[in-house]
Structure 1
Amino acid sequence: MKKTPSPLRKYAVLLLIISGLCSTSAFSQKNKRQALALQLAPGEDNPRNSEGDFITLKDGRILFVYSRYTGKSTSDHAPAYLASRVSADGGKTWSADDQLVVEREGDMNVMSVSLLRLQNGKIALFYLKKNSETDCIPLMRISSDEAKTWSAPIPCITDRKGYFVLNNNRVIQLKDGRIMMAVAMHRSLDGKWQAKATLYSYFSDDNGASWKSGAAVPNTKDIVTQEPGLIELKDGRILMFIRTDSGFQQLSYSSDKGLTWSHIEPSDIHSPVSPASMARIPSTGDLLLVWNNNKVKEAAWHGGVRTPLTVAISKDEGKTWLHIKNIESDPKGWYCYTAIHFTKKEVLLGYCAGTTQLAQVNITRLNQKWLYK
C-alpha cells in the first residue's frame, strides 16, 4: 500500500525544495556578476603562461594573445612565444587550442602584449622583444585582415638603446589620433639590471610608422618607479600611473600630449610593488581601476602580497574611487598584469595568477552593472 506522507514530512520536503531553489538562485546571481571563463594553467613543456591582451574582431569574436613559455624555467627571461585563443560568445567560452601569433624572435623571448584597434580600422599588436638584460624594446605589427596576418615588426624605440619595459594592455590612441605608450628604461650597472627605472612616453602621429620620445618623467625622490600606464582624461591631459615601492601608485600628468610630464606625486591608491591597470568604461565614461588593494608595503622586493585583486570606479577622473570590490582574495595568491576589455554588458579581465609564482593566466567576466553596486 502506498503510504501517505505525514504533514511533517511534507514540510521537510518543502523546506529542502525551497533551500535548493535559493541556493540555485544565489549561485546564478554570483555567476551573473563574476565568472571565471578561462584558466591557462602550465603543463608539459609549458612551465608558465603570462600576461596578454584582448581585441574584438569585426565579426564579433574576441581574440586574446598572450605569452606561452616553453622548456623548464618560469623566469621572465625564459623562452616564450605569442599564442592566441578565441571566443565566439563574448568571452563565456574559449577555443581549446593555441594558435601561433609570433615566434620567439628575441634571444630570450617575446612577451607583454598590447592590442589596439586603430582609428583607421587596422589592428596594432605591440610586444617586447627581449634579447638580454640590457636589450629589450617594444615592437609593433599591423594587421589589415583582422589578425589573420601581420606586417613585419617595426621598432617603437630607435633613439635609445637599453632595457625598456612596456606592460601588457598599455598602448592607447588619443582622440586626435596620436598613438602613445609609456615605458620604463632600466639602466645596467656592470651588466646587471637595475630596479629603479627612468620613465618616458613614446608616441606616433603616423599610425606607428615612426616614433618620437617625450622628456623623462621627473623623479627627484628616493622612490623606485616602474611599469607605467596611460589614460587620456576628459580635459585633454594624459595621466600616467606608476608602480613604485612607496606603498602607493604614483602619478604624473602631461598637458602637451606626452612631450613633458609633471613630477611624480602620490595617489591615494594603496599598492604593493605591483602594477595597476586603468581603462574608461564606454557605457558610462567613468574610469575602472584594477589593482592590488594592499596597504602592506612589501618587506622583500616581491613579498607575495599581490593580493587581493580589486576593482573600483572613479566618476571624477581618478580623484576618488568608489564601489571597491575584491574579485580575488586568496591571502597566498598573486594576481597582477591585468588586461581590461569591455563587451556590451560585461568587462573581461585577463591576468596572471598563482600562489608561489605567476605561472597561469585567468580570464574572468564581470557584469558591468555589478561594478556599480
Structure 2
Amino acid sequence: MNKRTAEPKLMRILTHTCGQIICFLLVVLNGYAQTIAGSHAVLDIRAGDNNPRNSEGDFITLNDGRIMFVYSRYTGSSASDFAPADLAARFSSDGGQTWTATDKIVVKNEGKSNVMSVSLLRLSAKKIALFYIRKNGTDDCIPMMRVSANEGETWGEARPCIADTKGYFVVNNSRVRQLRSGRILIPVSLHKTPETKWNNRGTLRCYYSDDSGLTWKSGNAVPNPDSVITQEPGITELRDGGILMHIRANGGFQYYSYSKDRGITWSPVSPSAIASPISPASISRIPSTGDLLLVWNNNGAKGEGYFKGKRTPLTIAVSKDEGVTWQHLKNIEDNPEGTFCYTAIHFVKDHVLLGYGMGAGLEQSRVIRLGLDEIYK
C-alpha cells in the first residue's frame, strides 16, 4: 500500500422513493490515508513453543491504575480457530507504555475446542465482568460471563448468556457494551444450530440484560437481505440514545443498522460509507472530544468471492457526526502483505491503546499506543 495523503473523495447519491428525492452525502473511504510515522508498538506477544497463536483481546483499567489486557493464548501445535486456547493477561502500570513479560492465566480452556474473543466491562466500582465465547464445536459456541469482585485477581463461576437455545454464536472481542441506562448488550451472529446447516450469512441480534448480567433476553433479528453476507456485528451508543450497529459484510463496505429502543428492534441493514473487505471494524467514542474513532482495513475490496481482499492496511479515522462521515484518516499498519484485524480500543487520558491480531494466521497480538494529538493532526 503506497503512502498517500489525498483527501477522501465525495460521492453524491440521489435515490428516488415514492416520488420523493432523498439526498445522501457520503464520504467514501477507500485507501486515501497518510501513514503515521515511526513505531508505536508497546507490546508484541509472539508465538512460541507450545504456543502457536496469541490473538485478539480487550483492555480494562483497574482501580489501582493498572491496565489489564486479556487475550486468547493458544496451546499445542495448531493455530486454528478451533484449536485449544486459554485466556491470559498482561498488565501495565504506566498507562500502557510498558507491559509485564509473563502471562497470568485468567481462564483455563473449558471448551471442547477453546475459549476466546474477550470483552471486559466494569459493572460498578467493585465489580468487573469478563465475557468470552466457550467453543465446543460448530453446533455449540456460546457467550459466557464471569464476574470478579477483586479487580481480576479471581473470577466467579462461568454463566451462559444464551441459555434458551444452542448454536454457533459469534461474538467478537471487545464488543460487549453497557448503555447509559445500565443495559448490557451483546451483539451476536448466529451461523448454525443443531437443526440447520452452516450459513456464512449470520443472523444478527443483540442479547440484553437489565440486571447486570444475571438474566438475559433476546432482541429481534436484524433485517438483512439474502444477497448480503452479514457477520461479526459491533455496536455504539449514539448521543441521542440510539444505537449504531456496524457489520462486517461482503458488499465492499461495512454495513449499518440502527435501533431506537435500546437494541431490541433494528432497521434493515444498508451499506455505510466505510469501504472495506469482509473484515471487522471497531468503533469507540473518544471521551475527551465526544467524537467516534474507527479502526478498520481501508482497502475497499470489491468483487465476487468470499473473503476477497486482504486485511491491510489498518487505518484509523474520526467522525464528528455520529458515523455519517469520517476524517483524519491515518494508516497505523501499512504492510501490503500483512494481516491486521480484530481491534480493541481503550482510552487512557490523552492516549489510546489499540490491541489487534496480526500475521497470516493471526499468530501475534500487538498493542500500540497513540496520542490523541497524533490522531487529530
TM score, norm. by length of structure 1:
0.89
Partner of 1:182: 187
Where do 4+ consecutive residues of structure 1 move more than 6 Å?
A: none
Q: CA deviation at 1:362?
A: 0.5
Code of the residue aligned with 2:75 in structure 1: it is T
Partner of 2:318: 313
Code of the residue aligned with 1:231 in structure 2: it is T
Q: CA deviation at 1:191?
A: 7.5
Q: 1:95 to 1:239 in 2, by over 3 A?
A: same
Q: What's the CA shift string for 1:201-253, capped at 9, x where partnerless?
A: 01100000000011000012400000000000000101100001111000000
- In structure 2, runs of 5+ residues without a counterpart are 1-35
Quick one: distance in 2 between partners of 1:222 and 1:260?
A: 21
Q: CA deviation at 1:297?
A: 2.4
Quick one: distance in 2 between partners of 1:295 and 1:191?
A: 33
Q: 1:189 to 1:59 in 2, by over 3 A?
A: closer
Q: CA deviation at 1:303?
A: 4.5
**Match of residue 359, structure 1, among 358, 363, 367:** 363
Code of the residue aligned with 2:139 in structure 1: it is T
Code of the residue aligned with 1:296 in structure 2: it is A
**Percent of pairs with identical residues:** 59
Indicate the SS of the match to 1:326: strand
Q: Does 1:334 align with 2:333?
A: no
- What is the aligned-residue RMSD (CA, Å)? 1.5
Quick one: distance in 2 between partners of 1:308 and 1:259?
A: 34
Q: CA deviation at 1:317?
A: 0.5
Q: Does 1:277 align with 2:265?
A: no
Quick one: distance in 2 between partners of 1:194 and 1:51?
A: 24
Quick one: distance in 1 between partners of 2:151 and 2:166?
A: 32
Q: Does 1:241 align with 2:236?
A: no
Partner of 1:371: 375
User: 1:247-326, aligned counterparts within 5 Å?
Assistant: 247-297=252-302, 300-303=305-308, 305-326=310-331
Q: 1:86 to 1:96 in 2, by over 3 A?
A: same
Code of the residue aligned with 1:134 in structure 2: it is D
Q: What's the CA shift string for 1:46-95, capped at 9, x where partnerless?
A: 11111000000011100000000011111100000000100111111110
Q: 1:217 to 1:190 in 2, by over 3 A?
A: closer
Indicate the SS of the match to 1:371: helix
Q: For the Cα contact (< 8 Å) 1:334–1:358, is it kept in 2?
A: yes
Q: For the Cα contact (< 8 Å) 1:277–1:338, is it kept in 2?
A: yes
Q: CA deviation at 1:116?
A: 0.7
Code of the residue aligned with 1:280 in structure 2: it is R
**Match of residue 60, structure 2, among 55, 58, 61:** 55
Partner of 2:131: 126
Moved more, 190-199 or 76-85: 190-199
Q: For the Cα contact (< 8 Å) 1:41–1:359, is it kept in 2?
A: yes
Q: CA deviation at 1:357?
A: 2.1
Quick one: distance in 2 between partners of 1:41 and 1:205?
A: 39
- In structure 1, runs of 5+ residues without a counterpart are 1-28
Q: Does 1:349 align with 2:354?
A: yes
Question: How many residue pairs align between the two structures?
Answer: 342
Q: 1:190 to 1:121 in 2, by over 3 A?
A: closer
Quick one: distance in 1 between partners of 2:304 and 2:125?
A: 47
Partner of 2:41: 36
Indicate the SS of the match to 2:192: strand
